[in-house]
Structure 1
């Protein structure tokens, strides 16, 4: 099993959710987060004082899926999130050792299906 953490532009969320729904993934968590990478944020002037907004709003998607589904999920997220501009986001993939469905005590891949 793998965990996919994708940080995307907020305006891409609905389209990505639709595509992921078509892939019949069994779970998706979404968080609103703030952060920066190369994009670095922006500057504004308020009452003559420069304010540097270092953090930009992003959406974090968390998906745990079977190893064989990872490349398809990554491809779809990358395709939809792409604008070609700085700030499109990042995708991180990590190993999941185990999973447990609390209600049924199922473990491993059965717990996420």
Structure 2
């Protein structure tokens, strides 16, 4: 969601991912933009499915979740932090998403 907002695709994004036990790929991906989307919501969903591997093992690998960094997040939370380097706070795909969404 953070990459989509950074790309200017929407001002607010909430993504809900649902899984079934024994199946790696999500059963569903639901997007809520609260009316702030700048492109069609179906296109946003297609961008997510194309550029983000949402299988649990891929998420663990991409976010380096096996690295013991969680002591730093025990106080003051783990979202929206800029004082420590957290992989889920990166907007490394924003430029690519912007180009594909708006053809720039």
Verify same fold: TM over 0.5: no
- Structure with the bigger percentage of helix: 2
Q: Which has the higher contact order (CA 8 A, sep 6+)?
A: 1
Larger radius of gyration: 1
TM class, shorter-length: under 0.3
- Structure with the bigger percentage of strand: 1
